[in-house]
Structure 1
Amino acid sequence: MNILEQIINFADQQIYIKRWSVGVNQQAPIILLHESLGSVELWKAFPEKLAATTQRDVIAYDRLGFGKSSPLAQLNLNFVTDEASSTFQQVLQHFQLEQFLVMGHSVGGGMAAVCAGVYPEQCRAVITASAQTEVEDVTLAGILKAKHSFNNEKFIGRLAKFHGDKAQWVLNAWTDTWLSPTFVDWNINDQIRQIHCPMLVIHGEQDEYATLAQPQRFVDLAAGETELQILKDCGHFPHQEKETEVLNLIHNFIKDI
């Protein structure tokens, strides 16, 4: 397997991208969108295993403000829906992708869903893991707890291994945005209704940031065929906690796409 790392320029900013290539392959690649504290490197071994399991190229990138991409002054309150027409669009153009599959974890799952609706002719399938579709009380409670327990030198030091001197900004961007009173009515219901491609929705039964109403909303609202998989004894990180099961679910879901 070939692994390619690149920096591309976008509006005087830089985007870090990593691609796991399985060789000469005409199948649409899978693009990964990370979570609120995430980065390319925080996907750990999952992208390589996903490429090997599905025999498709896998592409992951650091959103602006995260990982090895350029810093961001502020996280726009519309950042989930804006991603499809900003950095994600630049990645599509860079690789000249006529077709793709997209997978996102947590808030990245919401972004993946939006991307599927924005690019109906190009997106062959969408996969979400622990995706949020709206703000719930349990979401706010979990983030408020994290705001207090994570905001310390030890945790910031751990984040800095992946985000460098942007680590404190990354934590604040997550907690302050979601806990903002102006964000309380946020949802992607209209965007979900625009999804016509097949969708696999993966969610841990014990997710600490969302009830099971969140994954069910994809089933209720999406225009395309949606497969819902609720994983037992699993929290907010299914691709880490139940890695083999998740890889198998994805393989079976996309094998005929």
Structure 2
Amino acid sequence: MDQLVSPSFAELPAKNGRNSLRIEYQWLNANWTDAPIAVFLHEGLGSVAMWKDWPQALCNRLGFRGLVYSRPGYGASTPREAGTEWPVDFLHAQALDVLPALLDVLDIGHAERARMWVIGHSDGGSIALLYAAAFPDALAGVIAIAPHVFVEAMSVEMIGQARVQYTQGDLRSRLARYHADVDSAFYGWNGIWLSPAFRDWNITRLLSSIRCPLLAAQAEDDEYATMAQIDAIALHAPQAMLAKLPAGGHSPHRQCSDSLDATIEEFVTGKAVSRH
């Protein structure tokens, strides 16, 4: 999945003032029709292609079907209009509007959603937590990898450095293979995270609404955030299991996938057994 080859598309109808959207998506293990679904939510610069092979490998390990998709503004999905800035609640909109609308269009019903796992990385981890808080009875569990639940100074600093790498280095050319409109993807993410209005973004008060099993994983050497992120999750959602990895940077599913995958398998298997 490291190239945009023959994607499928879902058309989301206009709703609540937003325009209709064209969403790039891909099913994994599509013929495993009786298996639970894992929905993968990518990072702030991610897409279907940028996940590469990790979702497939994890689904094979867990015996899951998988659904990966590119959010609006990313991959081959509807791009962000030039000059448009994401609002402060842009992650909420993805959790409360876009993801449920996509599940509706793909005809994923209530019974399937009740068995569904939502797996998110970075911004996608935040969306996974927001979805679990808003729909506490509509999923089997959530796995948040290096999620953000409030804004830390080091995150802003690193995202500022990313802009320099994008405008003066090779980051733009490296990202261009994963996005049909690379400026849409980069400046949407970079702009909102560097906006002064976003400094006070904080979703910790919503986490107590999460009732499903929850695994939050983060590496000690994460360059974008500290362990305060997942510690806050445990404080507000006491059922959460924390996986504090000694190394793995901001993308442990890439840098230490064996360790992370084993942790996820143990967690999912244990929770699935305990809920029967």
Q: TM-score range by the shorter chain?
A: over 0.9
* Distance in 2 (alpha carbons) for counterparts of 1:157 and 1:53: 33
1:205-224 mapped onto 2 (5 Å cutoff): 205-222=220-237
Could you tell me which residue of structure 2 aligns to residue 186 of structure 1?
201
Give the AA of the match of 1:85: L
Could you tell me which residue of structure 1 aligns to residue 3 of structure 2?
none
Instruction: Say yes or no: does 1:76 pair with 2:90.
Output: no
| Structure 1 residue 193 displacement after superposition | 1.6
Could you tell me which residue of structure 1 aligns to residue 17 of structure 2?
none
- Deviating more after overlay: 200-209 vs 150-159: 150-159
| Structure 1 residue 5 displacement after superposition | 4.7
Question: Cα deviations across residues 172-216 of structure 1 (Å, max 9, x unaligned)?
Answer: 122211111111100111221211111001101000110110111
| Structure 1 residue 153 displacement after superposition | 6.4
3-state SS of 2:150 partner: coil
| Structure 1 residue 145 displacement after superposition | 1.3
* Distance in 2 (alpha carbons) for counterparts of 1:89 and 1:152: 38
Give the alignment's TM-score, normalised by structure 1: 0.93
Check whether the contact 1:22–1:55 (CA below 8 A) recurs between aligned residues: no
Quote the sequence identity (%): 29
Aligned match for 2:145, one of 129, 136, 139: 129
Could you tell me which residue of structure 1 aligns to residue 248 of structure 2?
234
Check whether the contact 2:55–2:66 (CA below 8 A) recurs between aligned residues: yes
| Structure 1 residue 237 displacement after superposition | 0.3
Question: Cα deviations across residues 11-45 of structure 1 (Å, max 9, x unaligned)?
Answer: 33210111101643434211010011000111111
Could you tell me which residue of structure 1 aligns to residue 128 of structure 2?
112
3-state SS of 1:203 partner: strand
* Distance in 2 (alpha carbons) for counterparts of 1:146 and 1:245: 28
* Distance in 2 (alpha carbons) for counterparts of 1:152 and 1:168: 14
Check whether the contact 2:32–2:65 (CA below 8 A) recurs between aligned residues: no
Check whether the contact 1:34–1:107 (CA below 8 A) recurs between aligned residues: yes
Could you tell me which residue of structure 1 aligns to residue 187 of structure 2?
172
Could you tell me which residue of structure 1 aligns to residue 107 of structure 2?
95
Gaps in structure 1 of 5+ consecutive residues: none
Aligned match for 1:6, one of 5, 8, 15: 8
Question: Cα deviations across residues 100-128 of structure 1 (Å, max 9, x unaligned)?
Answer: 11010001100000011111111110001
Instruction: Say yes or no: does 1:138 pair with 2:128.
Output: no
User: What is the CA RMSD across the aligned residues, in angstroms?
Assistant: 1.6
Aligned match for 2:218, one of 199, 203, 206: 203
Gaps in structure 2 of 5+ consecutive residues: 1-5, 15-19
3-state SS of 2:165 partner: helix
- Deviating more after overlay: 154-163 vs 46-55: 154-163
3-state SS of 1:163 partner: coil
Which structure 1 residue ranges, 4+ long, deviate > 4 Å from structure 2?
none
Instruction: Say yes or no: does 1:85 pair with 2:96.
Output: yes
Total equivalences in the alignment: 252
Aligned match for 1:17, one of 25, 44, 47: 25
Check whether the contact 1:22–1:56 (CA below 8 A) recurs between aligned residues: no
* Distance in 2 (alpha carbons) for counterparts of 1:121 and 1:34: 23
Give the alignment's TM-score, normalised by structure 2: 0.87
